[in-house]
Amino acid sequence: MLLSMLCTMGVAQPEREKPIKNPMLWADVPDPDVIRVGDTFYLVSTTMHLMPGAPVMASKDLKNWETVGYIFDKLTDSPKYDLSFSLPLDQQKGEGVGTVYGRGQWATSLKYHDGKFWALLAPNEQGAMGDTYIFTAPKAEGPWTIHSRLRHFHDATLFFDDDGTPYVFFGTGEVCQLTRDLKGVVEGSLRHYFQREEDENGLLEGTRVIKHNGTYYAMLISQSYGGGRHRREVCYRTKDLNAKWEKNVILESDFGGFYYLAQGTIVDTEEGDWYGIMFQDRGGVGRVLTLSPVRWIDGWPMLGDENYKVPEVMRPYKSGQPVKGIVLPDEFDGTKLGLHWQWNHNPVDKAWSLTERPGFLRLKTSRVVPNLYLAPNTLTQRMEGPTCSGYICMDLSKMADGDCAGLSDFNGDSGVLTVKKNGKTLTLEMSEQKVSLTEREKAVTNVEEKVVETVDLTKLVNAKQPKIWLRVDGDFRAGERGGRDAANFFYSLDGEQWTQIGTKNYRMVFDYRRFFMGSKFGIFNYATKKVGGYVDVDYFKYHCDEK
């Protein structure tokens, strides 16, 4: 991987006739909903405990996507969103306030109706925290405002019929009609529009609904693995919402050496062609998006090529579009944080700044915490396949005693580069960290930390040279040299000569019981003794190899 290429990423350049290579987005972009308004496609995805949440991405060609906004900046129903905790680590055992790791915003539905954008989402929580939000905005970029709160609808989709009647389809074959103002459920309208067959013994969820040529289509992921079946996308259709719905399997395809994929939607172009966008679990990188052609056969939207398989390569819908991405480098030279960044839980706004030292991201400590998983203001971006590399330059001169700052591949299992200040001693550690969470409250009960290698920086990083460069490389290739889901870690004292440190080919893990998301680059700074210190991050350089 050529580090000299890192600085060139993110510059828009014309691109002509380069194919779309699946995965279309080789990064963690699960639970997609996609619509088209005019000549632009808009996509929303799940980001759970990351803030701002419910990212909105846009594309003209179904190849080059960029993040154009978020539906909300923060969720505030509970201090859990703030990473607050009421008991010491060894006493939590579920009674503490907890966290929202793997919870928060799930499976947002995006629609355009009557000149406005609408979004429906329900946090995967119990009680009032799990109530459904309906947001609206004049444009996809925002600003988005809360329109109403309703009961919890699992993996729901908002749907407007031709006459404007609003519905919510959710769960496994459930539907209800909403009031015209989208502020309530029409009494007596809740019903099942299909009953799951006896041999459909797994989950049916992730509903997306469209209407085409007078027929309603509800698409769901089927998680049934018995009887030779795999994960697949099924479709129910009817011409009358009150009549019987027919069922068909519209996609059952493995891809790229990984298991079968499903859950997503289909979308049309201005010319009337159709495409399907579905996600696939890809291990440590998370759940990636694939693009397939849609062929209407006997009135069913069949995804895939002539063999009903997800193709490896597709032509872009449009040529000549500028190269864009959802993971980007950053010089931190603006006054607003780029839309490619998300915080782990709600940020402490007073504890970070882009203006106190122009051209730098300042991360200040704001509370004393015992570990990375309870640290506020960890700043994240997705990692991408097939291979990627990201590094930061960080000024350490204002760290306080007990401070920990650095860069990690951040997940439930994390490889972490930590600079630690202890008295006058400064060290760099590469460690393997694994968090344990309670099932209900997601309270942090333990962090297993294995320090693999330590470097004394006391004489190397000083007043004359207060900076360190930290780098994480990710390799998500399958069956190729280098292995799959491997992270490697490096440091430098001048930004040019790099030294590898710690675990080689650290195995990144996707764990649905804890974080339920792919690995992220995570920039952090937290206090273990007293608040008041800070670090200044000069830049984040990034490179991803072409698929």
CATH number for the domain including 95?
Answer: 2.115.10.20
Q: What is the pLDDT of residues 343-384, one digit of tens each?
A: 999 999 999 999 999 999 999 999 999 999 999 999 999 999
Whether residues 456 and 374 share a domain: the answer is: yes
Picking from 242, 272, 302, the residue at the C-terminal end of a domain is: 272
| Domain contains 197 | yes
pLDDT of res. 479: 66
Whether residues 95 and 201 share a domain: the answer is: yes
At 442, list the tokens.
Answer: 């997601």
Whether residues 257 and 133 share a domain: the answer is: yes
Domain extent, residue 116, equals: 30-272
Average pLDDT over residues 216-237: 89
Among 84-98, 102-116, 272-286, 387-401, the least confident range: 84-98
Say how many CA atoms lie within 13 Å of 301 toward its Cβ: 29
Whether residues 256 and 379 share a domain: the answer is: no
pLDDT at 540 over 50: yes
pLDDT at 316 over 90: no
| Domain contains 350 | yes
Picking from 222, 247, 272, the residue at the C-terminal end of a domain is: 272
Whether residues 241 and 94 share a domain: the answer is: yes
pLDDT of res. 3: 37
pLDDT at 305 over 90: yes
pLDDT of res. 93: 54
pLDDT of res. 6: 38
> C-alpha angle 285/291/292, rounded to 5°?
140
pLDDT of res. 8: 37
Whether residues 97 and 184 share a domain: the answer is: yes
pLDDT of res. 13: 42
Q: Calculate what percentage of the chain has a pLDDT beyond 90.
A: 86
| Domain contains 383 | yes
Whether residues 346 and 265 share a domain: the answer is: no
pLDDT of res. 167: 98
> C-alpha angle 117/120/126, rounded to 5°?
160
Among 3-7, 127-131, 241-245, 502-506, the least confident range: 3-7
Between CA 121 and CA 119 the distance in angstroms is: 7
Q: What is the pLDDT of residues 164-174, one digit of tens each?
A: 999 999 999 99
Average pLDDT over residues 384-399: 97
Average pLDDT over residues 126-147: 96
| Domain contains 200 | yes
Whether residues 348 and 268 share a domain: the answer is: no
For residues 92 and 112, is the Cβ–Cβ distance under 8 A?
no
Q: What is the pLDDT of residues 189-206, one digit of tens each?
A: 999 999 988 878 778 999
Picking from 272, 306, 324, the residue at the C-terminal end of a domain is: 272
The full length of the chain comes to 547
pLDDT of res. 15: 43
Whether residues 353 and 263 share a domain: the answer is: no
At 284, list the tokens.
Answer: 């440590």
Query: SS3 breakdown of the chain: % helix, strand, coil, rounded to 5?
Result: 5, 45, 50
pLDDT of res. 199: 78
Between CA 389 and CA 542 the distance in angstroms is: 6
Which residues, 6+ apart, have CB-to-CB distance to 259 below 8 Å?
Answer: 230, 231, 280, 281
Query: How high does pLDDT run on average in the chain?
Result: 93
pLDDT range class, residue 2, cuts 50, 70, 90: very low
pLDDT at 481 over 60: no
Between CA 519 and CA 430 the distance in angstroms is: 17
Q: What is the pLDDT of residues 144-162, one digit of tens each?
A: 999 999 999 999 999 999 9
Among 150-154, 293-297, 330-334, 475-479, the least confident range: 475-479
Q: Decide: pTM greater than 0.85.
A: yes
CATH number of the domain residue 357 falls in: 2.60.120.200
| Domain contains 282 | no
| Domain contains 307 | no
pLDDT of res. 96: 53
pLDDT at 545 over 50: yes
Whether residues 393 and 251 share a domain: the answer is: no
pLDDT at 416 over 60: yes
pLDDT at 313 over 60: yes
pLDDT of res. 160: 98
Average pLDDT over residues 304-309: 96
pLDDT of res. 9: 40
| Domain contains 78 | yes
| Domain contains 151 | yes
pLDDT at 20 over 50: yes
pLDDT at 405 over 90: yes
* Number of H-type helices and E-type strands within the chain: 0, 40
pLDDT of res. 86: 56
Give the chain's domain count. Answer: 2
Whether residues 245 and 362 share a domain: the answer is: no
pLDDT of res. 257: 87
pLDDT at 95 over 80: no
Whether residues 406 and 260 share a domain: the answer is: no
Q: What is the DSSP code string of 108-148?
A: -EEEEETTEEEEEE--S-SGGGGPEEEEEESSTT---EEEE
pLDDT of res. 478: 82
Q: What is the DSSP code string of 6-57?
A: GGGTT---B--SPPEESSSB-S---S-EEEEETTEEEEE---BTEESEEEEE
